[in-house]
Chain A
Amino acid sequence: MIPELGHFALALALMLSLAQGIFGLWGAQRSDARMMAAAPPLAAGTLLAVITAFGCLMWSYVTNDTTVANVVQNSHSAKPLLYKLTGTWGNHEGSMVLWVLILALCGGAVAAFGRELPSRLQARVLAVLALVAVGFLAFILGTSNPFARIWPPAPDGQGLNPILQDPGLAFHPPLLYLGYVGCAVTYAFAVAALIEGRVDAAWGRWVRPWALASWSFLTLGIALGSWWAYYELGWGGYWFWDPVENASLLPWLAGTALLHSAVVVEKREALKTWTVFLALLAFGMSLLGTFLVRSGVLTSVHAFANDPARGVFILVLLMLYVGGGFALFAWRAAAMAPTGVFAPLSREGALVLNNLLLCSIAAVVLIGTLYPMFADLILQQKISVGPPFFNTALFPLAVPLVAAMAIGPLMPWKRARLWPVLQRLWWAALGGAAALLLCLAVEGWRIFPALGFAAAAWLILAALADLADRIALFSRPAAAWARAKGLPRAAWGAAVAHAGLGVTILGLAGMGLAQDRLVLMKPGETASLGGYTYRLDELRDAAGPNWRGREAVLTVLQDGRTVTVLRPQKRSFPVGRMTTTEAAIHTTWLADLYTVMGDERDGGAVIRMHHNPLAPWIWLGAAVMALGGGISLSDRRVRVSAPAPKTVRGEAPA
């Protein structure tokens, strides 16, 4: 009964969304206040229906209902409860329901907190969100019903892919979806603005928090995925330029550009066409990712089981939403006149440069991802585009981006002079040069890691210089604390996020110096790497709730002192008939000591050891970036445009 209830709730959500879409668009067009007023309650109704459907699906997983095909294919009674719960979205059908759930949550949020919005804009935004939901609900009901029953019931489930039984991966999709769906909200705002034919500062103030929130979640989601790949796949790598990874990076790049561009709309009423375009692009890129992953047109470890009928359906949705958005853009964008004027050398100019560079980076990643597929289709050639292409093509774009993102925040709006800004950054430049020389002196002629360290020092110090400058730390130290408290949170957030990228680059530069070693060790033997000695104590059996396997016990010593004991494992999961390797990682924060157990032979085992300097900082930096996004979101000026008493509104800068 519960699965039928869920199925019914999905159908109900589809109908409510359809009504919301029609009433919202039609009502706004006809200026019919009653029709427009129907959109928010319909959004609340859709949300309730989707929550019910998701709850029913989760219930089927928790009770291991083996009459539901989706549960049989993806779960097992012996699975820990946490993974039964997360298994709800660990498969194609369930993840689509989660996607729609988050979309409905965003719709509910716009309905509940958007009373401050002009009613016509709110109605249109809700309508566009509803139409996006209609497409995906129709997709779920038509091609991917998660509640399909099977009879007779299977004796038990067929288990979840053991590689996916992991906390990192369990929470990676929800975070990414929060990011993707956040892009849907900015998309809805962009489409509403295009229909209306106007973009103003108020619009920018509304778009920016959504762009920020979506960007922060995407940052966390991508970082979590990369971290998972690092510790779970066991190759010691953290980014593989896999098409699916690229698919998540593309909306992030577009979202980063959007975030910065929306500031210009809000503060200066310029770059309107750009901002609208970036909002369309960010959502288009998240839909493209959905299409690539679920249609089967590419191969990847991440790809879901797929069938071409689904692919055609998603392609139709992709074309409707992206094509429709771009058609509207081509038709209406010319009407959006800028009011703010600025010199090329100014804060606005720096943000334009940021947009151009981020869009170029996105273009390179997009081409590198799609080119092999199109080459195969058109030229009948199998080629692969790998890390060498991306690294070579992106490096020349990353250098000016890093250089400019330190300078940009110090520039005044409208018109700036470069020299005073550079004067305030001299010690950041000095720090960067010192990092470069220090790395070259210690590590020899390793130019890329050295440049990475220089970039990291430059970014972090420049963020500090920016803050010090704003609170007049050196010129008027007595009042610095008061000024620090008075500084808008958005400025803090920007500085923290920029420093966070510096921290990530620090980690990447450290990984550029990574070493690895592969040895056949017998118990009692030692091997050394990166100043540590690894001693294999024993090889023994190990077992967990739903797996059995072997583990190697390695004691890590430095100068005769025990640092840690590492236990890399090989696990085999009888239910899924799969074997996984579990890397054992010990972090000293200066480096990760990373070991993987290979095949056993002649009484010994092949042990792979990686010495990964500064590796954890890659993901910590991403967390710092997301924190910066969060700080910026907590800015009073952002909240003012959200649910705030009307009296405060007058204080908000226009």
Chain B
Amino acid sequence: MTPWPMLLPEGVDRGSAAPVEAPPRSPWRRRALLLVPLGLAAGAGAGFYAMLRGMQTGDYDPKGLPSALLGKPPPDFALPPLEGSDRPALTAAELRSPARPVLVNFFASWCLPCVVEHPMLTRLARAGVPIMGVAYKDRPEDAAAFLRQHGNPFARIGLDLPGRVAIDWGVYGVPETYLIDRRGIIRWRWAGPLTEDMVSRELEPLLRRHAA
């Protein structure tokens, strides 16, 4: 006999002498098992209904990627510099009270969307926005080669090889960009490549507002 007879589908010969006439299982347990799909469907349905209600009242927003850190200072960290990039290391101290709003950008050489957004970062850096880079789970030589090839818009770069700092920040995936105001508070976050549209519609007004 198997230890869980009711998990076997009907028809399986359980090795008993009279397999068909005397199915060795309790009808109540079988009944309960047959109720499981209904219960799961009902639970899921209730959850979906709560989501739809939440969307109408604004409690549930599937599109937003709000960070738990919005309106708070970034978590404490100290990252080593990226060898070969000629930039100083990045620690939380530099983000406490910067002279002007700064962007913190998580990137990696293996990430294609990072390449796509790179010209945008370069343009912002030329416009005078200080950008701090965090090389996320990247081999130092690859990250340095990436910056040599595409240009280096970053004022400081920290190397987050294990990805621990990214976890503390709640990074969704690279590339991801945060705006930190002059009091050292995270004001904005964008997961995905920075596009023309996004920068002119959201980031630039925010930069102007927090510059004052």
Q: Please give the residue numbers on chain A whose beta carbons come within 8 Å of chain B beta carbons, in ascending order.
A: 235, 268, 270-274, 277, 280-281, 284, 291, 295-299, 308, 311-312, 315, 318-319, 322-323, 326-327, 329-330, 333-334, 336-344, 348-349, 352, 355, 370, 373-374, 376-378, 382, 384, 386, 516, 518, 520, 598-599, 601, 606, 608
Contacts and interface: CB of A to CB of B under 8 A. Distances in A.
B119 A341 contact: no
A349 B10 CA distance: 11
A349 B173 CA distance: 43
Contacts of A268: 11
Interface of B: 8-13, 19-20, 27, 30-31, 34-35, 37-38, 41-42, 44-45, 47-52, 54-56, 60, 62-67, 112, 115-116, 119, 149-150, 170, 172-173
A323 B12 contact: no
B12 A297 contact: no
The 3 A-B pairs at the shortest CB distance, nearest first, are namely A270-B11, A338-B11, A326-B38
B51 A370 contact: no
A323 B42 contact: yes
Nearest to A281: B37
A323 B116 CA distance: 46
Contacts of A378: 47
Contact of B12 (A235, A334, A342, A376): A342
A382 B65 contact: yes
A315 B60 contact: no
A348 B27 CA distance: 23
A296 B55 contact: yes
Q: Is the interface of A mostly helix, strand, loop or mixed?
A: helix
Nearest to A383: B172
Given A315-B52, A330-B31, A344-B12, 20 more contacts: A235-B112, A273-B9, A273-B34, A277-B37, A297-B48, A297-B55, A299-B62, A299-B63, A308-B52, A311-B55, A323-B38, A326-B41, A333-B34, A338-B20, A341-B11, A377-B51, A382-B64, A518-B112, A518-B115, A608-B112
A259 B91 CA distance: 58
Nearest to B109: A518
Nearest to B37: A326
B52 A352 contact: no
A343 B48 contact: no
Contacts of B47: 373-374, 377-378
B60 A330 contact: no
Nearest to A520: B149
Contact of B10 (A273, A296, A299, A374): A273
A637 to B, nearest CB: 22
A404 to B, nearest CB: 16
B38 A330 contact: yes
A271 B55 contact: no
B9 A271 contact: yes
A109 to B, nearest CB: 28
14 contacts: A273-B10, A299-B62, A311-B52, A323-B42, A326-B41, A333-B34, A334-B30, A341-B12, A373-B51, A382-B64, A386-B173, A516-B112, A598-B116, A608-B115
Given A273-B9, A377-B51, A382 B66 contact: yes
Contacts of B62: 296-299, 373, 376
Contact of A327 (B13, B38, B170): B38
Contacts of B115: 518, 598, 606, 608
A84 to B, nearest CB: 29
A327 B41 CA distance: 10
Contacts of A295: 48, 52
Contacts of A348: 11-12
Of listed B35, B38, B55, B60, residue having the most chain A CB within 10 A: B38
B41 A274 contact: no
Given A308-B55, A341-B19, A386-B173, A329 B49 contact: no
A280 B119 contact: no
A271 B38 contact: no
B167 to A, nearest CB: 12
A337 B8 CA distance: 14
B52 A297 contact: yes
Contacts of A336: 10
B37 A330 contact: yes
A315 B49 contact: yes
Contacts of A299: 62-63
A323 to B, nearest CB: 5
B10 A323 contact: no
Contact of A352 (B12, B50, B66): B12
A273 B63 CA distance: 40
B45 A319 contact: yes
B9 A274 contact: yes
